[in-house]
Amino acid sequence: MKPIRITKHAEEQLNYRGTTEEEIVETIQTSNWAPAELGRLEARKDFSFNSTWNKKFYKIKQVRPIFIEEESEIVVVTVYVYYV
């Protein structure tokens, strides 16, 4: 697999949205890719969470990085996180 680079914008979103660089990399490396808006790609992975986020308890955290596959690397442009 190509190296994965996380842009400054995506990196700034990590704490705000409650995910880690390791979860983003794991999601891209182990999940199916699908087309996303603006010609980008996305992947989704559910992680066991069983914790509180913004004062509410959730069992699952879904990480959804949005990225571009370039010739020599994968560039993560942003990341979304959903709690269920």
pLDDT score recorded for residue 75: 98
By CB neighbour count within 10 A (0-12 exposed, 13-18 middle, 19+ buried), where does 77 fall? middle
Asked whether 44 and 65 are in contact (CB, 8 A), the reply is: no
What's the rounded Cα separation, in Å, for the pair 58 and 51? 6
* pTM above threshold 0.85: yes
CA distances from 67 to 46, 59, 80, 83 (A): 18, 26, 11, 21
* 30-44 pLDDT per residue, tens: 999 999 999 999 999
- Residue ranges of the domains in the chain? 4-83
